[in-house]
Amino acid sequence: AVASQFRSREVAEVNVKLAEKGYSMGVELRRRVRFQLKRLSSSRRLLIDGNSALALGLLAGGMTAFFSYPMTPASPILHFLAEIQREYGIVVFQPESELAAINMAVGAAYAGARAAVATSGGGFSLMVEALGQAAMTETPVVIVNVQRPGPSTGMPTHTAQSDLRFVLHASQGEFPRVVLAPSNPLEAYELGCEAMNIAWKYQVPVIVLSDKFLAESFWTIPDLPRLEPEEGRVLRGEVQGDYARYRLTGDGVSPMAVPGTRGALVYANTSEHDEYGFGTIDPAVVRAMQEKRFLKLRSLRAEAERKGVKVHGDGQVVLATWGSTTMVAREALRELEGVKLVQLVWLEPFPAESFAQEVSGRKLLVVENNMRGQLVSLIREHVLRQPEGFLGRYDGRPLDPEEVVEFVKMHMR
């Protein structure tokens, strides 16, 4: 095996001898040094990476169709799901482009399949128009963006958290969306399921923001909990009487039938439309439909306030972060006293009241894997608070716990 790695016979022979010598030294060292690793726990644990955990979460949420064009570092999600698609009875398809992938997902969801796509920032750029299509047609779809440094090609095999502002405002016009950010494989699994359930409960696009550090690193974790899909307001039987796909309701969520449902004409229209899906420019109808879509935010904000913030530790200094940087910050907390870590899990809608309550009367510091402090700007926007300190890293590497400790201690002096 060693020799096959080298073209030159002479170089190969030298390396084979070195490998044999190293192996012999290891055998001798093992005889002289008696050391045995102790088992830390008798419980069984999973060895898993973030991409696989997220894919399993989508499956737990009832995903039946997955479309993706390969793009590092999201490609392993496609590979993993393709390997198990027959076992789980799902459709996994690689089309010719990211544009095709997102449009196929929207079409599949319109036809009743719980669909998702996965890509990185460059691929998400191509999906922006179809994101608006899903919003206007109120078609539930989940988009996984596994971030890497940009702009353009950037650094495909490195990590970043620089797409936050982009996904919050992607596509023209105004419409409700949900943005979730897992920090570890267990959260990736849980939020993958939650993303699918939220998309179908509220008929909105849901974006899961992962990154290369989380996606392609491996952890040992406890066994994954059993999660169940929630269908939402979907009509499965025959529709009696008049059916309007975009009927005005008290919470903005209309009963959803799929094409082929007996008694229902399911008309999707990317132009502004009335309750039946037919195009309109009538000012009163346009206002009513815009307000109908945004009614969903009332319920979504309540969910964000309830589930969007996680707190680790306590103290008069607050360290705020999101996504995979949370793991780095939690490790840094072991070397710090009097510091509370506040993790943002929901980034849209932003859990402003819950976050404000956790940081009130305390010094606020922010750490994240980008240059301009995108979470900092969200805090200013939603909480009207300027953090006292910001630490960003933007060279393609994750933050180091030691630099976080040094940063916090500097602001505690």
Question: What's residue 29's pLDDT?
Answer: 86
Helix (DSSP H) and strand (DSSP E) numbers for the chain? 13, 14
SS3 122: helix
SS3 67: strand
Output the six-digit token pair for 311.
Answer: 């707190």
Written as one string, the DSSP assignment of 174-242 is: ----EEE---SHHHHHHHHHHHHHHHHHHT-EEEEEEEHHHHT-EEEEPPPPP------SB--SPPPS-
Output the six-digit token pair for 43.
Answer: 């419980």
Cα–Cα distance for residue pair 335/100, rounded to 1 Å: 48
Output the six-digit token pair for 296.
Answer: 């969903």
Cα–Cα distance for residue pair 9/329, rounded to 1 Å: 50
**Phi/psi at 397 (nearest 5 deg)?**
-110, 150
If 0-12 CB within 10 Å is exposed, 13-18 middle and 19+ buried, where does residue 229 land? middle
Residue 14's contacts (CB-CB under 8 Å, 6 or more residues apart) are none
SS3 298: helix
Low-confidence ranges of the chain (pLDDT < 70): none
Half-sphere exposure of 208 (CA within 13 A, CB side): 36
Cα–Cα distance for residue pair 117/197, rounded to 1 Å: 15
Cα–Cα distance for residue pair 177/294, rounded to 1 Å: 10
Other beta carbons within 10 Å of 349: 22
265: phi > 0 → left, psi -120 to 50 → alpha, else beta; which?
A: beta
> Whose CA is closest to 178, among 12, 55, 302?
302
Tell me the chain's radius of gyration from C-alpha atoms: 24
Question: What's residue 255's pLDDT?
Answer: 96
Cα–Cα distance for residue pair 244/248, rounded to 1 Å: 9
Question: What's residue 33's pLDDT?
Answer: 79
Pairing of strands 317-322, 115-119: unpaired
Domains and CATH numbers, the chain: 3-32 (no CATH), 46-221 (3.40.50.970), 242-307 (no CATH), 308-412 (3.40.50.920)
Pairing of strands 218-221, 46-49: antiparallel
What pTM was estimated for this model as a whole? 0.91
Other beta carbons within 10 Å of 343: 23
Cα–Cα distance for residue pair 97/119, rounded to 1 Å: 11
**CA separation, residue 273 to residues 51, 200, 292 (Å):** 38, 21, 12
Residue matched to tokens 């359930």: 197
